[in-house]
Amino acid sequence: MTENASVVAIAEPSRVQVSQIDKQLKTIWSSQEGATRASTFNLLVYESELQDPNSIGEAIGAIAVQHPCRAIALLASTDGPKDNLEAYVAAYCPVSEGGGRESICCEYITLRASGKALDELDTTAAALLLPELETFLWWKGPLNIHLELFTNLQHIVDRTVVDSSLFEEPEKALESYTSLALGQEKNRSFGDLNWSRLTPWREETAVAFDSESRAACLGALDRVIIEYGQSEGIPLNPCQAYLFLGWLASRLGWQPLSLHNKDLTKQIIMRDSTQRPIQVTVRAVAGEAHLAGQITSVGLRSEEMGAACSTVLCSSDSSSCIRMQMNMGEATLSLVSDIDTLTTEQLLSEALRTPDRDPIYEESLEVIHDLMQLK
């Protein structure tokens, strides 16, 4: 983390007793002339040690540059004694453009736990939160392991951010996740980095139907094909494709009626408010590893209105651009636009921008939730 160019450590991580964490942080601050402690929120980050051990640190470094915060890493340790808890504290300051250290810095606490101590980590974390600030949880991992900690943490956080591209047994995980997210109290919200990755696809799809003549197509669409990448050795993950479908369906008032699985293809029938059926195919297509789980193309058509409505969006071989082909009256308009491949830190920072609930996201989850009941 110290080699991360954008932050400097004003104190390297040191191991402390859990009860001494606050005291140790005070010592760090008082040794620093001119470093201001500012906080915009508390950030809890869960990660299992099975994952890349450096990546939390780097991500928090990147977050610290943008938002001064108290960050608490919750590490699920797999080795070491059973029911064990260790704590470390450190502080980092962003480096300003000129190379100098900024005066507003980020505190960084690591709690590394195993067994029962891990399941009950929420109470330890609760005591370490700065008062009266929003608390975010970034759950960096699948949902099926340590689900107890995940559920327990819900009591102390305002917003939980997951990454459904990391879900194992994706459909099962989606089912429990949507139930949990939709059943929350009003003042808690959920986010998904995989949803943020969809933004360019949503924007591009919206562009295709902005013109008044094409807006009419939306009511006539009856065929949707969503393809997502699949790569050998990487488990299949259709979450992003489902999110896109959930979004499209909720915007257009479609309800799922049936879902059939055949090999790598899902055939779904939906129905709009006039009972008109819409046939949806979600399928995995072989591609490169970096596209695994990512949408690679979306096709929207209307049998009724023929070519006038057909729209195809696809990412070309690189994941950095979307090609759109749509028919406008007589002419076919083809448009290539770039998408920035956002890093996890950028996605996270986007997901942390507001603690508010996102109704569009939740309505998409509702469709997915209904769809998962049809499995």
Q: Is 212 in the site for other proteins (CB under 8 A)?
A: yes
Could you tell me which of 116, 195, 191 has the C-alpha nearest to residue 152?
A: 116
Which C-beta is closer to other proteins: that of 283 or that of 323? 323
- Nearer Cβ to other proteins (117/295): 295
Which one of residues 8, 9, 10, 104 is an interface residue with other proteins (CB under 8 A)? 104
Contacting other proteins within 83-102 (CB under 8 A):
94, 96, 102
H or E element in which residue 208 lies? helix 199-208
Binding-site residue total for other proteins (CB under 8 A)?
47
Cβ 19 to other proteins shortest distance, Å: 28
Spatial distance between the Cα atoms of 181 and 11, rounded to a whole number of angstroms: 38
Question: Considering only residues 48, 211, 231, 327, which one is a binding residue for other proteins as defined by CB under 8 A?
Answer: 211
Does 356 contact other proteins by CB under 8 A? Answer: no
Residue 21 to residue 124: CA distance in whole angstroms = 11
CA angle 335, 340, 342 (to 5 degrees): 150
Question: 27, 32, 40, 51: which one contacts other proteins (CB under 8 A)?
Answer: 40
* Residue written as token pair 């591209």: 165
Q: Which of 343, 360, 374, 375 binds other proteins (CB under 8 A)?
A: 360
Query: Interface with other proteins includes 248 (CB under 8 A)?
Result: yes
For the segment 305-334, give every residue that binds other proteins (CB under 8 A): 316, 320-321, 324, 328-329, 331, 333-334
User: How would you classify the pairing of strands 41-48 and 135-140?
Assistant: parallel
Alpha-carbon distances, residue 52 vs 58, 356, 372 (angstroms): 11, 30, 31
Four-residue CA torsion sign, 148, 152, 153, 154: positive
For 131-208, where are the E strands, in sequence order?
Answer: 135-140, 159-162, 189-192
Whole-angstrom Cα distance, residue 98 to residue 59? 22
Query: Shortest distance, CB of residue 333 to other proteins, whole angstroms?
Result: 6
Under rule CB under 8 A, residue 65 binds other proteins: yes
- Residues near other proteins, by CB under 8 A: 36, 38, 40, 65-68, 94, 96, 102-104, 199-200, 202-207, 209-213, 215, 218, 248, 251-252, 316, 320-321, 324, 328-329, 331, 333-338, 358-361
